[in-house]
Chains A and B, each alone.
Chain A
Amino acid sequence: MTVVPIRTLVRRPGGIRLSLERWVPALFLAPAVILLVVYLLYPLLSSFRLSLLNWNGLGETGRYVGLDNWVQLRHDPVFWQAVRNNFVLAFFSVLIQLPIALVLAVVLDEAGRGSRLLKILYFLPLLMSSVALGVVFKNVYDPNFGPLNSFLQAVGLADLAQDWLGDPHYALGAVIAVICWQNIPFYMLLFLAGLASFPRELSEAAHLDGATETTIFWRIKLPHLQGTFRTGVLLAVIGSLRYFDLIYVMTGGGPENASDLMATYMYRTVFNAFQLGYGSTVASAMFIIVTAAAALALRLSRRFQTEV
């Protein structure tokens, strides 16, 4: 074996090497940090700055109006209607999607052999773009030519037929139904994963203790899923508070703001009414509400976790 003196192998003195090493993390992080600052952090701050302006977006810059926009927002019935709608959406998302998803997950869990194909087909709505879905369901809900009303008439329930998206009483509900239709498979898969992680020994032990299938389900399997439930609620609430797509495509927030959400109201204020300043105020308020709700929800779900 040849012994090479080590000195010849050391090309650089230690000091320089070490100082170069200090910059390595920066080099790896630079692209991500730059993009995040430019496209996330700066817009966030900029939005708050814009909220202090009165600006139609055309001139060089707007007129500084201080907190006028925020005062206006406080007394803006449409905005509060939108906030209310966001929470209605969150409430019904949790109330409708999670129970149906749970039932379907249990069904698939029991179904055995056929379940793989069903799972694959159930998942399809999640692959659709909301524009495509919105357009499809606008046709489904069409008061004159839509299959929904035709179906109601055919089965003798013509009285129930409505102008689903044109009637302020039904518009929000009609869109929520579509949102649920698209998202239930997601929560179903969530529960399915939770059920799959259920340890078989537990139900075997319960069988030996003389428990029936029903008891095992209610007393052992459901409690096992509570962590999954928390995750589901958290996702549904946060997702609902920042929702935009299907509402915008299907109703645009109408009729008479009946289905407006914070995001759709913000969009129309900026891009239809050209009130960049006031629109940014709506956006900033939305940011505050969503962040606060997310923080609250996270804290609550943690508290439950430690208590239960």
Chain B
Amino acid sequence: MTSISLANVCKKFDGAAPVIRNVDLEIAAGEFCVFLGPSGCGKSTLLRMIAGIEAITSGEVRINGERMNEVPPARRRVAMVFQNYALYPHMTVRQNMEFGLRQARTPPAEIENRVAEAARVLQIQPLLDRMPRELSGGQRQRVAIGRAIVRKPNVFLFDEPLSNLDAALRVHMRSEIARLHRDYPHASVVYVTHDQTEAMALADRIVLLRAGSDREQQGSIAQVGTPLELYHRPGSLFVAAFLGSPRMNFLPVVIAAIDPDGVVVRLRDSGETLRVPVAAGTARPGDAATLGVRPEHLQPIAPALSGPAPQTITRAVRAVERFGEYDYVYLTGADGEDVIAKLGGGTGVSTGPLTFSVPPGSCHLFGTDGMTFERRAGG
């Protein structure tokens, strides 16, 4: 059953370029959906439009099939957790959690039950009579979540809830939020973050929004899919570049040949050729394109004795960063941009040329329009 549906939703502030463009999206009941994107992509704005604290310029937002555009926030059965927690500083933790229920004239006994239940789930019973300023960041976060839980919402909205916490606490709270989602399986979660690790760890589905230089596409959906779909089958250069750390290597290539098994490309800097199992579409030999390979997919092999082996690239090592568990090897690439290979720790690599095999299945090919060449069936 669909819980939230957005149809052609747009947002424009007075006199400025649109910040949200033609967003169509269906979020299922119980789904954990993450809005991911670089800062300025409009992901928070989109969330706030679902919450009802930002007006919808055009399009329609529905929750459980009901049109929500004109419904005030409190009647949408949504609950929101803010980045800076937005706890009322002049109320105790208990009063903070009760406030919304009191506004809705919930019977006192019911209020007490719900607050006690939420406090138990979040283990904040000892904090109930404290003021927010007396709490640590993690505790405030729990209270903010508690304030959302007591409303028994159909939809939880999280706006970058972990970005004010330190690294260790962030990992801990991340697992708490995942547990919370398991405890309330019928409620959908919409979760905004710019942190891909959070998105990968938490999401059933990621909605990646565009931002940046391309003003025409700013605030539109780049790709929707499960975390692994987005990681392994990025639909565009933008998605490929956004997910993964270190970033995917992008090598400028020319299409050398097209055959039924795929496309053969020639690297511009070295002239090496690689086969990529994708459908050529409208591309012709001689067209420019970009080859993408993730750092962890480059595997070193012994250099062939006579001439370059097929499906390999050979590069000089410029520097190595050792992290114990793995090494980053920086290889001299085209235009002064390094090619990075991520290898298992303790390789002992230090200098000299290295040869890497480039498995065809790990290659991505992007056209000049930034879109991915479609993968051949079974490729």
Judge: A and B partners, yes or no: yes
Within B39-77, the residues touching A (CB, 8 Å) are 63-64, 66, 68-72, 75-77
Selected A-B contacts with CB under 8 Å, 7 pairs: A1-B186, A2-B152, A3-B64, A6-B68, A10-B71, A10-B75, A14-B70
Q: A1-B186, A14-B70 are in contact. Are A6 and B152 (CB under 8 A)?
A: no
Instruction: Return chain A residues, CB-CB under 8 Å to B66.
Output: 5-7
Chain A residue at minimum C-beta to C-beta distance from B74 = A9
Q: A3-25 toward B: CB 8 Å interface, digit per residue (1/0)? A: 11111011000110110000000
| Residues of chain B with a CB closer than 8 A to A2's CB | 152
**Per-residue 0/1 for B67-101: is the Cβ within 8 Å of any A Cβ (1 yes, 0 no)?**
01111100111000000000000000000000000
* Residue on A nearest B72 in the bound complex, by CB: A17
Going nearest first, the 3 A-B pairs with the smallest beta carbon separation are A14-B70, A6-B66, A9-B75
Complex interface: chain A residues within 8 A of B111 (CB)? none
**Residues of chain A contacted by B118 (CB below 8 angstroms):** none
- Assess whether B187 is interfacial by the CB under 8 Å rule: yes
- Answer whether A6 and B77 are a contact pair too, CB < 8 Å, given A1-B186, A1-B187: yes
Let me know if B70 and A6 touch, CB within 8 A.
Answer: no
A18 touching B70 by the CB < 8 A rule? Answer: yes
Please give the distance in Å from A4's CB to the nearest CB on chain B: 7
Contacts of A3 in B (CB 8 A): 64, 154
Q: A1-B186, A6-B71, A15-B70 are in contact. List 11 more A-B contacts (CB 8 A).
A: A1-B152, A1-B184, A4-B77, A6-B63, A6-B64, A6-B66, A7-B66, A9-B75, A14-B70, A14-B71, A17-B72
Q: What's the nearest-Cβ distance from chain A to residue B107, in Å? A: 14
- State the B residues within 8 Å of A (CB): 63-64, 66, 68-72, 75-77, 152, 154, 184, 186-187
Contacts of B152 in A (CB 8 A): 1-2
Closest B residue, CB atoms, query A9: B75
Q: On chain A, which size bracket covers the interface?
A: 10 to 19
**B359–chain A nearest beta-carbon distance, Å:** 47
CB-CB under 8 A from B63, the residues of chain A are: 6
- Chain A contacts to B: CB under 8 angstroms: 1-7, 9-10, 14-15, 17-18
What residues of B have a CB within 8 angstroms of the CB of A17 in the complex?
A: 70, 72
How far is it, in angstroms, between the C-alpha of A2 and the C-alpha of B72 when the chains are bound? 20
Taken together as a complex, chains A and B put the C-alpha atoms of A10 and B70 apart, in Å, by 10
- Taking the nearest CB of chain B, how far is it from the CB of A125, in angstroms? 37
B76 x A6 contact (CB < 8 A): yes
Alpha-carbon distance A5/B66, docked complex (angstroms): 9
In the docked arrangement, what's the CA distance between A10 and B2, Å?
21
CA distance A153 to B70 in the complex (A): 85
What is the CA–CA distance of A2 and B64 in the complex, to the nearest angstrom?
13
Closest Cβ–Cβ distance, residue A6 to chain B (whole Å):
4
Do most interface residues of chain B lie in helix, strand or loop, or is the interface mixed? loop
CA–CA, A4 to B63, complex, Å? 12
Please report the C-alpha to C-alpha distance between residue A286 and residue B186 in the assembled complex, in whole angstroms.
72
Chain A residues positioned under 8 Å from B72 (CB to CB): 17
Please give, as numbers and ranges, the residues of chain B lying within 8 Å of A18 by CB-CB distance. 70
Distance, CA A6 to CA B76, complexed state (A): 7
How far is B62's CA from A290's CA once the two chains are assembled, in angstroms? 59
Q: In the assembled complex, which residues on chain B have CB atoms less than 8 Å from the CB atom of A15?
A: 70
Chain B, residue nearest A6 (CB): B66
- Assembly CA distance A14 to B75 (angstroms): 12
Find chain A residues with CB under 8 A from B77 CB. Answer: 4, 6, 9
Which residue of the partner chain A has the closest CB to B66? A6
The reply to whether B75 and A6 form a contact with Cβ atoms under 8 Å apart is yes
C-alpha gap A19/B9 in the complex (Å): 24
Which residue of chain B has the shortest Cβ distance to A14 in the bound complex?
B70
CB-nearest residue of chain A to B64 = A6
Q: How far is the CA of A10 from the CA of B68 in the complex (A)?
A: 10
What separation, in Å, do the CA atoms of A10 and B63 have in the docked complex?
13
Shortest beta-carbon distance from B76 to chain A in Å:
7
The residues of A that contact B186 with a CB separation of less than 8 Å are 1
The complex places the Cα of A6 from the Cα of B71 at a distance, in Å, of: 9
| Chain B minimum-CB-distance residue to A18 | B70
A15 to B72, CA, bound (A): 12
Contacts of B187 in A (CB 8 A): 1
Residue of A with least CB distance to B187: A1
Closest Cβ of chain B to A20, distance in Å, is: 12
How far, in angstroms, from A7 to B75 measured CA to CA in the complex? 9
Give every chain B residue within 8 A of A9 (Cβ-Cβ): 75, 77
Considering residues A2, A5, A9, which has the most beta carbons from chain B within 10 angstroms of its beta carbon? Answer: A9
Docked pose: A199 CA to B77 CA in angstroms: 50
What's the minimum C-beta distance from A180 to chain B, rounded to whole angstroms?
Answer: 43
Name the residue among A2, A3, A18 with the largest chain B CB count within 10 angstroms: A3
Neighbouring B residues of A6 by C-beta, 8 Å:
63-64, 66, 68, 71, 75-77
B70 cross-chain contacts in A, Cβ below 8 A: 14-15, 17-18
Min CB distance A130 to B, Å, is: 39
Complexed CA–CA distance, A7 and B64 (Å): 11
Q: What separation, in Å, do the CA atoms of A15 and B69 have in the docked complex? A: 12
Give B144 Cβ to nearest chain A Cβ, in Å.
20
Q: How far is the CA of A6 from the CA of B184 in the complex (A)?
A: 20
In the complex, which residue of chain A has the Cβ closest to the Cβ of B62? Answer: A6
Please report the C-alpha to C-alpha distance between residue A5 and residue B63 in the assembled complex, in whole angstroms: 10
A1–B76 alpha-carbon span in the complex (Å): 15
A7 to B69, CA, bound (A): 13
Give the residues in chain A near B68, CB-CB below 8 Å.
6
Task: State A2–B187 Cα separation when bound (angstroms).
Answer: 11
| Distance, CA A9 to CA B74, complexed state (A) | 10
Q: How far is the CA of A6 from the CA of B52 in the complex (A)?
A: 14
CB distance from A200 to the nearest CB of B (A): 27
Closest Cβ–Cβ distance, residue B103 to chain A (whole Å)? 13
User: In the complex, what residues of B have CB within 8 A of residue A10's CB?
Assistant: 71, 75
Nearest neighbor of B76 in chain A, beta-carbon distance: A6
Which of A6, A9, A10, A18 is packed against the most chain B CB atoms within 10 Å? A6
B93 to chain A minimum Cβ distance, whole angstroms, is: 23
**Chain A proximity of B56: nearest CB distance (Å):** 12
CB neighbours of B71 from chain A (8 A) = 6, 10, 14
